Structure 1
Amino acid sequence: MFTLSPRKRKNDGRTSTGTDPVTKKIKCTSVSELIAQFSYSRLLNRKFSPQFVRESVDFVSSTLFRTLPVFSVDHYIDLAPVGLCVKKREVVLSWFEYPEWPCLESAYRFLIKLVVTHKTDPRSARVFIRRSFVEKLLGLFHSEDERERGALETLLTCIYNKFTDHRKFIRNRVFDIIRRVNDKNSAKHNGIPQLLFFLGGIVKDLDRSRIDEEFGASGQFPLRALVPLFRSKWVLMFYPQLIGCIVEFVKKDQKIADRVILGILSSWPLTADDPRECIFLDAVAGVFQWAKPAGFQRCIAPVLQQVERCLSSPLFLVVERALSLLQVVIVEAVKVRLPIKRKVEAILPTVFQGLVKVTMKHWRGKTRRLGKKMCKGLFPLLIRPEQNTSATPMTASASLMGATRMEIDQYPSTAAIQLELPVYYYLAI
C-alpha cells in the first residue's frame, strides 16, 4: 500500500507555504498521484492503513488550512434571480477567485474521495478526522471564493454521512453560526448559503421522528433560527437556499406552515418599493402550498392583505410575484373543503380592488396582460366567462367559485353582490 512519509512530503515541497508556480505545480502533481491511488486500490481487497489516512489528512491540512485573504471591495450581492442585477456575474466573481484554486481544488477532490470510499474505515479514520479538523473546515466557509465554499459543502456532507459520531457536533456548530448571524444583524458570513443547503439536504433524508430528535420538536429550529434570517440585510446572498431549507422543514412537518408564514410576514420590508418583497413573496408561496386546512384558514387573511399591498407596488416584479402568490392561494383554496360562500368571502373582498388596478391601470402592458390572463385562465374562482357574446355582467360572474345562481343569491351583500360586477364583464371579454 502506497503511503506518504514526512521526509518525502518535506522534500517535494507539499508543506511549503510558498506561492511560486513551481511549488504549486509540485503540489498539484502530488495530489493527482494520490487521487490515482484510489483507482489502484480498487484492485486490492483491503482497506487503507491508518498510516495512509493519517498522512493524507496531514498533507491536505497543510494545503487547506491557511489564513484567508481579505478583499477590500464590497461583497457582491447576486440580484439576478430577482431581476435586478446590473453587473455580469462572471466579471464580479473574478474579484474573489483565489489564484491558488487549482491546487486547492485537487486537495478537496482528494479529501472527498478519501472520505467517501469504502476503503476508508470510519472507525480508524475518525481518530485523524477529529472534531478539531471539522472545526477548521467550518472556519474555511468564510472564504470569498464561491467554488471553495461549494467544495466545502460537499466535503462536510460526506463527513456527516460517514462519521456518525460527528453529526451532533456538526449540527451544533452550524446552528451556532446561524445564531450569530441572527444576533448580529449587520454581520456577514460568506458560507451561509452553503450551510443552509447542507441543512436542507440533511432534512430531506430524515423522517419526521428523526427531525424532532435532531432539530427539536414543534419546528423550533426553523421558527427560531431560519425565519429570523429574513431580517438580515444580507438576505439577498442566501435567500434561495433559505427558502429551500425552510420548505424542506415544512414538508416534514406541515403543522408549522402557518407559523412560518406568519413569521415571514412579520419580517416584511417596511417600504413599499423594496425589491426584497420578491423574496418574501416567493418564500410565502413556497410554504403556503404545504399548509394544512387548519393552518390555511389561520394565515389566509394576513397573506391576502399583504398581496393586496404588493399589487399596488411601483415595482412590476413585485406585482407579478404577488399575482403568482395569489394563484397559489386560489389553487390551495380549491383543495380546501369549505363552503363556496366562505371562500368568496375570504378572497374576493381583500384582493378585488388591487386586482382591478393591475388589470386596468398598471403602467406596464405585460403586467396588465398577465393579470388578465390569470383572471381568465388561472383565476377560475373569480370568473368563468360564458361562451356566448351576449353575456351580461351578472351572468358572466354567475359561475363564481363554481356556484349556481341560487348560491350567489345567498351571498352576503359585502361578499359578492355589491362588488363592481361590470369589472367582471370587462375581464371576461
Structure 2
Amino acid sequence: MGVQSNTTPKASPRVSTKKRSTTLQHLFDLDSKGNKIANNNIGSSSSSSNSEYEEILSAISFCTLVFSFTENECPTQQELKRHKLLQLLSFVKSNKNSVPVQVLSSLISMISANLFRPLPPPSNPFITADFPDDEDPMSAFSPVWPHLQLVYDILIRLVINNDPKVLREYIDNQFVINLLALFQSEDPRERDSLKNVYHRIYSRFTFYRAFMRKSMNDVFLHYVFETERHSGIRELLEIWGSIINGFTVPLKEEHKLFLMRVLIPFHKTKGMQAYHRQLAYCVSQFVQKEPVLGGIVVRGILRYWPVTNCQKEVLLIGELEELVENIDPDQYRKLALPLCNQITRCLNSWNSQVAERALYVWNNEQFVKMISVAMEEVFPVVVEGMEKNLKWHWSKSVRQLTENVKVMLEEMDPILYSKCLQEIELRESKAHQAEIKRKENWDRIEMAAAQHQYFQPPHFICV
C-alpha cells in the first residue's frame, strides 16, 4: 500500500506537464492557421479586383472598335458594344477618384478613338439666311449617336469625378482642340453634349482657361471674317455667356478687346438669326457689368446695320432697345441722334414688320428718356419721319401707329413740334421753288437750241 501511495504522486507531475505543452502547441498551430486564412482572404480580394479590372480593360478594348452603322455591319456586335459602353459608364460612376491609371489611360484612348473622327461633308453647302427663327439651318442627325452619346456620358463623368491634376496627363491641349473641332458636327445632339463637356473642362481645369478662350476666339474670327459657316457658333456663344457672367469688375483689357473685335462684328454675318439670342445675351452681359461700354456697342451695331435683310433689322432693333436700358445715362446725349436717325429710317421702311417694330420702340420709357435729353437735335429728324409716314406709307397699321407716336411727341413739347413742322414746310417750299427754277432753265435751253436748229436731222448722201 505504501508503495502504491508513493508511486502515485510521482506520476501526476508528468501528466500535467504533457497537457500544458500540448495546449501551447495547439495555440501556436491555431495562430498559424489564422494567418494563412487571412492571407488567403486578401489574395482572393486582390485577385477579384484584378479580374474586375481585366474585365473592364477587355470592355474598353472592344469599345475601341468604331462602327459606322452601315448595312455591312453586324447589328449584334453594335448592340454588344452599346452594352459594354453602359458597363463602362457604370464603372466610372461607381469609382469616384479611384480609377486606376492603366484603366484611365485606356479609357481616354477609347474616347479619343470614338469621338475624334473625320466629320462628313456639309449636307447643305450653300449658306442662306432665309429660315424661321429658332430653326437650325444646318442639322443632320448622325447614325452613330447611340454609341457617341454613351461615350460623351463617360467623358463628362470622368471630368466631374476625377482630380483635374490627375487628368491633366491625358486631357491635354491637343485633346481640347480636337473637342473644339467637333463643334462643326451637324448633329445638334452631339453639339449639346460637346457644350456640356467643354464647359465642364473650362470650369474645372482652371489652368486651361486662357488657352480655351483663345482657341474659341480663333474659331469666331475665322467664321466672321473668312467662311461665315460653322454649325456650333450658337453652342460656343452659350459657353461664352456663362464665362462672361463670371467676369469680375472692372473688366480686363483682354475681355474688352473680345467684345470689340469679335462680338460686335458678329452682327454683320449672314446667318446671325441662328445665334442672335446668344449673341445679344453676351453683349448685354458686358454692358451690364460696365455701362460705359454701351456707347461702343451701339455704334458698332449701327456700323454693321443690314441694307436689305429685314429679319436682321427687326432683331437688331430689339437688341438696341434692350441695350438702351443698361447704357450709362452720361452717354445719352452722344447716342440720341445717331440712334434716332437709324430708328427713323426703319420706321420709314416699306417693310411693315420693320416699320412697326421701330414704332414700338417709342413705348420704351428709357428710350423716351434718352430722347428727352437731346430733344432739339432729335426732334427735327423724328418729326420729318413721322410726317413722311403719314403721307406716303402704304400700310394702314403703320400709319395708325405713327399717328399714336405723333400724339405722344406733341404732348412732350408742342412748341418744338410745331417749329419742326414749320421748318419742314419751309424746306419743302424751297425745294419746290428750286424745282420750278430748274425746269424754267431747261425750257430756256431747249428754246435756244431750237432757234439755232441744233435739233435738225443730219443730211445723208446715198451712194
TM class, shorter-length: 0.7 to 0.9
SS at match of 2:343: helix
The alpha-carbon distance between structure 1 residues 176 and 416, as it changes in their structure 2 partners (threshold 3 A), is: same
1:16 aligns with 2:69: no
Q: Distance in 2 between matches of 1:159 and 1:280?
A: 33
Q: Give the letter aligned to residue 263 of structure 1.
A: G
Q: Paired residue for 2:324? A: 288
Q: CA deviation at 1:147?
A: 2.0
The alpha-carbon distance between structure 1 residues 65 and 417, as it changes in their structure 2 partners (threshold 3 A), is: same
Q: Distance in 1 between matches of 2:405 and 2:346?
A: 16
Q: Give the letter aligned to residue 366 of structure 2.
A: V
Q: Distance in 1 between matches of 2:302 and 2:131?
A: 21
TM-superposition CA deviations, 1:335-386 (whole Å, max 9, x none): x6x9x6x54324433222434555786544444555566677xx5xx25xxx
Q: Paired residue for 2:5? A: none
Q: Give the letter aligned to residue 262 of structure 2.
A: A
Q: Is the 8 A contact 1:278 1:321 kept in 2?
A: yes
SS at match of 2:195: helix
TM-score (norm 2): 0.70
Q: Paired residue for 1:212? A: 252
Q: Distance in 2 between matches of 1:36 and 1:374?
A: 64
Q: Distance in 1 between matches of 2:83 and 2:383?
A: 67
Q: CA deviation at 1:413?
A: 6.7
Q: CA deviation at 1:26?
A: 2.7
The alpha-carbon distance between structure 1 residues 126 and 303, as it changes in their structure 2 partners (threshold 3 A), is: same
Q: Paired residue for 1:85? A: none
Q: Paired residue for 2:184? A: 142
Q: Is the 8 A contact 1:50 1:124 kept in 2?
A: no
Q: Distance in 2 between matches of 1:31 and 1:203?
A: 36
1:350 aligns with 2:381: yes
Q: Give the letter aligned to residue 316 of structure 1.
A: S
Q: Give the letter aligned to residue 147 of structure 2.
A: C
Q: Paired residue for 2:430? A: none
Q: Paired residue for 1:59? A: 110
Q: Paired residue for 1:125? A: 167
1:35 aligns with 2:89: yes
| Aligned-residue identity in percent | 26
Q: Within 5 Å, give how 1:259-338 maps onto structure 2.
A: 259-271=296-308, 274-328=310-364, 330-334=365-369
Q: Distance in 1 between matches of 2:249 and 2:421?
A: 42
Q: Paired residue for 2:235? A: 194
Q: Distance in 1 between matches of 2:402 and 2:330?
A: 29
TM-score (norm 1): 0.75
Give the greater-gyration-radius structure (CA).
Answer: 2
The alpha-carbon distance between structure 1 residues 53 and 365, as it changes in their structure 2 partners (threshold 3 A), is: farther
Q: Paired residue for 2:210? A: 168
Q: Is the 8 A contact 1:196 1:242 kept in 2?
A: yes
Q: Give the letter aligned to residue 66 of structure 2.
A: S
Q: Where does structure 2 lack aligned partners over 5 or more consecutive residues?
A: 1-48, 426-463
Q: CA deviation at 1:308?
A: 0.6
Q: Distance in 1 between matches of 2:390 and 2:156?
A: 54
| Greater per-residue helix proportion | 2
Q: Is the 8 A contact 2:313 2:354 kept in 1?
A: yes
SS at match of 2:252: helix
Q: Paired residue for 1:229? A: 266
Q: CA deviation at 1:108?
A: 1.5
SS at match of 2:169: coil
Q: Where does structure 1 lack aligned partners over 5 or more consecutive residues?
A: 83-88, 384-396, 402-407, 421-429
Q: CA deviation at 1:70?
A: 0.8
Q: Paired residue for 1:98? A: 142
Q: Paired residue for 2:9? A: none
Q: Is the 8 A contact 2:314 2:357 kept in 1?
A: yes
Q: CA deviation at 1:293?
A: 1.5
Q: Distance in 1 between matches of 2:398 and 2:98?
A: 62
